[in-house]
Amino acid sequence: MARIVKLTATGPVKVEPSDKPIFVCACGLSKKFPFCDGSHKPTREEEEGCTYRYCAETNAVLDKSRDA
Ligand code: FES
């Protein structure tokens, strides 16, 4: 079974439970999910109005399509 999830975040969600902040991945590309590992950086170059598909192993962009 597999699924495709469409995410639009280009950075993590910052959680501050007490003295040390925690960054939770919101882009879906982290290899240390649920924690941010910096893999979101390429998403900041994404073109508005497009959907990107990334390789689950390398995070390389596999393809990009214009949203309808
Ligand atoms: S928000 Fe996903 S890796 Fe940083």
pLDDT band at 56 (very low <50, low <70, confident <90, very high): confident
Strand partners, 15: 22
Buried b (16+ CB within 10 A) or exposed e, 14-31: eeeeeeeeebebbbbbbe
Q: From ligand 1's centre to the CA of 32, what distance in Å? A: 9
Residue having the nearest C-alpha atom to atom 4 of ligand 1: 36
| Domain tally, the chain | 1
Domain span including residue 62:
13-66
Is there a domain that residue 32 lies in?
yes
Tell me the whole-structure pTM to 2 decimals. 0.80
**pLDDT digits 0-9 by tens, 19-50:** 889 999 999 999 999 999 999 999 999 999 99
Query: Which atom belonging to ligand 1 lies closest to the Cα atom of 9?
Result: 1
d(CA 4, ligand 1 centre) in Å: 17
Q: Is 6 part of any domain?
A: no
Q: Is residue 28 part of a domain?
A: yes
Whether residue 1 is contained in a domain is answered as: no
Longest dimension (CA), the chain: 44
**8 belongs to a structural domain:** no
Say how many Å lie between the CA of residue 58 and the centre of ligand 1: 14
Q: Is residue 3 part of a domain?
A: no
